């Protein structure tokens, strides 16, 4: 939430006068705006960086760092700032606004060195509500230096990108009612709509649902990518609270910059936060961007905004051409064994864990898509046997786990007994290394750890209580897992190694989508009682049907496809893109879809995620398993969930075949497919719409 006081957001006019020229802060990224900029972030640093653009509209970062007991010279302050970040320097005041700056510090009761004398013999220091020059050397016990460094683009590839020309909007339209079309950032135009939250909204408690895409197909909570889009949406917003698509994944450890992303999968390159936000007010893991009073973003918990405030989701989807042929998504391709295959950006929607069992957990982060599991450690652990071979018992490509993103750390924090889970951090030849060979680009080491560490130690995550950026609420603290050492001789017999392997594509060759640019909502039709939707580049008809009691068996439902039996040209629904997935999430829970393990795979008595097939014969090129929503497994496993032993014909009551069949979702508080047996009471049917002209 926006606050009056924040440790360094409020260093409103601190600028680099003497040091700016030396470090070129103002010219590092010319033209970069505050909404496009971010600061560095180290998990092990309890003091956050704060960003502002009060000097020449140039985004700059400010943060504090503790000093040693005594400082002798300007270099001691500079060295402390370099420990916070290698490009940081002590901040100095702008002479023209010094009185305002000092008053601001005093009003907020901040103490620390925040400026330097020109002759290297002293520094400015604020304490006990007054500001004074301090001659060096001086005692600096329990004191801080205020540092600054340049801000940089949230997404480097988006910085100074070429703006595409705005097309002729008269050639486009919005599908559905109540949408407004605009191309604020150039290129393909988009449609925008405010979707109010009704009092009986079943999805209000979960930010894992794409509420826009469930109720308005093909849409997502709106992402923003330029000032013009921000201004356009600000002019259209009417409610006091509006929900947008910029959020922190539920699994992630809370942070200010690193893990925030757009729900629609577009680059998270623009975030118009209110000054001081996000700040995790009251340490409640506020992970959703809410627009407050048409001003800018604050971080909040979605369920706590409803119904206390009048809340709307601002939805966004691409506009379509008024006449065919329609634009369809284009892919880079490659050939495999003579087949044309499409390339896709890796995501948890199109990846699986290579081992195929439900003991692996998949997670997507900026570092990629990876799978995690646990392996027993050797009975007597030593430097000689603590290596990647420990994980080979799980999969030939598995290695001791490295961590590069808070989403990865959050997954382990949520599923493991942390004090018994050893990770792959090593200290060799005077440097820290990950056993899998990846660089140590984030410091997850807890503060005040021995350096260099003692020999024969391993590392595990321990949870520390850390202050939030909400500086006027010292009681507001959040949990931050950080690595601490443990002697190998002290490892218990129940300790485990955290193992990691890269997720693999669902298919070796993912075919191009079954898209039809000549099919639109205007030139196709569905039979009465079917819902017509343009999804995944084609137009389909969908219908939910109740299953008669005498047909609620595997033979009718899956082997013969109940939809094909009762409706001509239809099949149990298959899903081939994220937009179609979210649309089917709007149907009643526990509705059967066409994903199943065929009987010829069941007879092997080995359950594997690779064996799932669609009853309509289409490729399994997309999966929407419940991986990050409400956990339904006591072992905190992800879907699909398999029984401990194979399911035989004799053990299946009424031929339900648990774990062999997928349902669209478990309930309205859970997002994603489930294999938990719920009987065959409803099915979602699908068929192509008929082209009429």
* 3 in a structural domain: no
| Per-residue confidence (pLDDT) for residue 644, from 0 to 100 | 62
| Per-residue confidence (pLDDT) for residue 555, from 0 to 100 | 79
User: Are 358 and 269 within one domain?
Assistant: no
- 321, 342, 368: which is the final residue of a domain? 321
User: Are 30 and 103 within one domain?
Assistant: yes
| Per-residue confidence (pLDDT) for residue 454, from 0 to 100 | 85
| Per-residue confidence (pLDDT) for residue 41, from 0 to 100 | 93
| Per-residue confidence (pLDDT) for residue 533, from 0 to 100 | 98
User: Are 171 and 291 within one domain?
Assistant: yes
User: Are 265 and 251 within one domain?
Assistant: yes
User: Are 657 and 559 within one domain?
Assistant: yes
Q: Is the peptide bond before 464 cis (omega within 30 degrees of 0)?
A: no
| Per-residue confidence (pLDDT) for residue 650, from 0 to 100 | 45
| Per-residue confidence (pLDDT) for residue 19, from 0 to 100 | 40
User: Are 395 and 370 within one domain?
Assistant: yes
CA dist 44 and 220 (Å) reads 34
| Structure tokens, 16 | 């680099």
| Per-residue confidence (pLDDT) for residue 50, from 0 to 100 | 83
* 646 in a structural domain: yes
* 56 in a structural domain: yes
Helix or strand holding residue 296 (H, E): strand 296-300
- 157, 187, 207: which is the final residue of a domain? 157
User: Are 417 and 528 within one domain?
Assistant: no
User: Are 170 and 127 within one domain?
Assistant: no
* 329 in a structural domain: no
* 397 in a structural domain: yes
Beta bridge partners of 428: 431
| Per-residue confidence (pLDDT) for residue 654, from 0 to 100 | 46
Q: What is the reported pTM?
A: 0.90
* 664 in a structural domain: yes
Could you give the number of structural domains in the chain? Answer: 4
* 344 in a structural domain: no
What CATH number did the domain enclosing 497 receive? 3.10.100.10
User: Are 423 and 572 within one domain?
Assistant: no
Residues 326, 173 contacting (CB under 8 angstroms) = no
Q: Is the peptide bond before 137 cis (omega within 30 degrees of 0)?
A: yes
Share above pLDDT 90 across residues of the chain, in percent, rounded to a whole number: 54
* 327 in a structural domain: no
DSSP states of 156-187: GGGTTPPPPPPP-GGGEE-SSSS-EEE-TTSS
| Per-residue confidence (pLDDT) for residue 470, from 0 to 100 | 63
User: Are 137 and 187 within one domain?
Assistant: no
- 131, 157, 183: which is the final residue of a domain? 157
User: Are 233 and 370 within one domain?
Assistant: no
CA dist 564 and 594 (Å) reads 11
| Per-residue confidence (pLDDT) for residue 4, from 0 to 100 | 33
What CATH number did the domain enclosing 150 receive? 3.10.100
| Per-residue confidence (pLDDT) for residue 651, from 0 to 100 | 44
Residues 6+ apart with CB under 8 A from 135: 121, 122
Domain that holds residue 260: 162-321
CA dist 203 and 459 (Å) reads 40
User: Are 21 and 92 within one domain?
Assistant: yes
The mean pLDDT values, 10 residues at a time, for the chain of 693 residues are: 34 33 61 94 89 81 89 90 92 66 54 63 75 85 89 93 90 96 94 84 64 94 94 78 88 91 94 88 81 81 67 92 92 94 95 87 92 93 94 96 94 80 93 94 88 88 84 74 93 92 96 95 96 97 94 86 94 98 95 91 75 96 88 76 60 58 89 86 96 88
Q: What is the pLDDT of residues 228-258, one digit of tens each?
A: 999 998 887 766 688 899 999 888 999 999 9
């Amino acid at each position: 939430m926006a606050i009056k006081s924040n440790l360094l957001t409020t260093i409103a006019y601190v600028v680099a006068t003497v040091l700016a020229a030396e470090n070129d802060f103002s010219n590092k990224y010319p033209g970069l705006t505050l909404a496009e900029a971010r600061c560095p972030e180290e998990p092990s640093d309890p003091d956050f960086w704060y960003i502002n653009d009060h000097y020449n509209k140039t985004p700059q970062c400010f943060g504090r760092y503790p000093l040693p007991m005594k400082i002798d010279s300007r270099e001691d302050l500079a060295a402390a700032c370099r420990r916070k970040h290698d490009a940081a320097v002590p901040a100095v005041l702008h002479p023209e606004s010094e009185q305002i700056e000092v008053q601001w510090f005093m009003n907020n009761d901040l103490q620390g060195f925040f400026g330097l004398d020109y002759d290297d013999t002293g520094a400015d220091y604020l304490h006990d509500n007054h500001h004074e020059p301090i001659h060096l050397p001086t005692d600096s016990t329990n004191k801080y230096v205020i540092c600054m460094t340049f801000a940089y683009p949230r997404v480097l590839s988006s910085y100074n990108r070429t703006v595409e020309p705005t097309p002729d909007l008269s050639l486009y339209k919005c599908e559905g009612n109540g949408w407004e079309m605009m191309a604020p950032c150039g290129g393909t135009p988009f449609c925008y709509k405010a979707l109010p939250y009704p009092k009986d909204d079943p999805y209000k408690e979960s930010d894992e649902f794409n509420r826009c895409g469930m109720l308005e197909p093909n849409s997502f909570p709106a992402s923003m990518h330029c000032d013009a889009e921000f201004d356009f949406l600000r002019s259209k917003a009417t409610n006091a609270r509006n929900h947008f698509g910029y959020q922190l994944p539920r699994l992630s450890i809370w942070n200010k910059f690193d893990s925030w992303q757009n729900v629609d999968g577009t680059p998270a390159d623009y975030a118009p936060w209110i000054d001081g936000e996000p700040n995790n007010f009251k340490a409640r893991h506020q992970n959703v961007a809410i627009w407050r009073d048409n001003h800018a973003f604050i971080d909040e918990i979605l369920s706590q905004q409803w119904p206390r405030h009048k809340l709307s989701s601002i939805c966004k989807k691409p506009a379509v051409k008024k006449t065919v042929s329609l634009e369809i998504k284009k892919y880079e391709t490659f050939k495999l064994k003579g087949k044309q295959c499409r390339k896709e950006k890796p995501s948890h929607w199109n990846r699986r864990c290579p081992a195929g069992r439900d003991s692996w957990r998949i997670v997507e982060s900026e570092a990629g898509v990876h799978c995690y599991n646990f392996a027993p450690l050797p009975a007597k652990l030593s430097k000689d046997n603590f290596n990647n071979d420990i994980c080979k018992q799980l999969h030939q490509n598995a290695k001791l786990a490295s961590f590069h993103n808070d989403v990865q750390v959050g997954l382990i924090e949520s599923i493991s007994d942390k004090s018994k889970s050893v990770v792959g951090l090593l200290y060799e030849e005077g440097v820290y290394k990950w056993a899998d060979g990846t660089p140590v680009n984030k410091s997850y080491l807890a503060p005040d750890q021995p350096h260099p560490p003692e020999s024969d130690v391993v590392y595990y995550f321990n949870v520390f209580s850390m202050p939030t950026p909400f500086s006027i609420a010292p009681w507001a603290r959040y949990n931050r897992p950080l690595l601490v050492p443990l002697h190998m001789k002290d490892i218990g017999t129940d300790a485990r190694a955290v193992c990691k392997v890269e997720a693999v594509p669902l298919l070796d060759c993912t075919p191009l989508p079954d898209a039809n640019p000549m099919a639109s909502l205007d030139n196709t039709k569905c039979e009465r009682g079917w819902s017509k939707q343009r999804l995944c580049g084609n137009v389909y008809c969908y219908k939910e049907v109740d299953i008669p009691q005498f047909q609620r068996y595997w033979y009718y439902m899956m082997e013969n496809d109940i939809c094909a039996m009762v409706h001509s040209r239809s099949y149990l629904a298959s899903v081939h893109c994220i937009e179609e997935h979210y649309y089917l999430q709007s149907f009643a829970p526990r509705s059967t879809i066409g994903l199943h393990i065929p009987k010829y795979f069941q007879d092997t008595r080995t359950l594997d995620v690779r064996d799932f097939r669609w009853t309509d014969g289409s490729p399994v090129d997309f999966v929407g398993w419940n991986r990050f929503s409400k956990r339904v497994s006591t072992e905190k496993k992800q879907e699909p969930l398999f029984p401990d032993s194979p399911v035989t014909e004799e053990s299946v009551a009424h031929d339900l075949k648990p774990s062999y069949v997928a349902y669209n979702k478990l309930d309205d508080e859970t997002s994603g497919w489930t294999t938990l047996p719920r009987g065959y009471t409803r099915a979602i049917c699908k068929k192509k719409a008929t082209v009429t002209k």
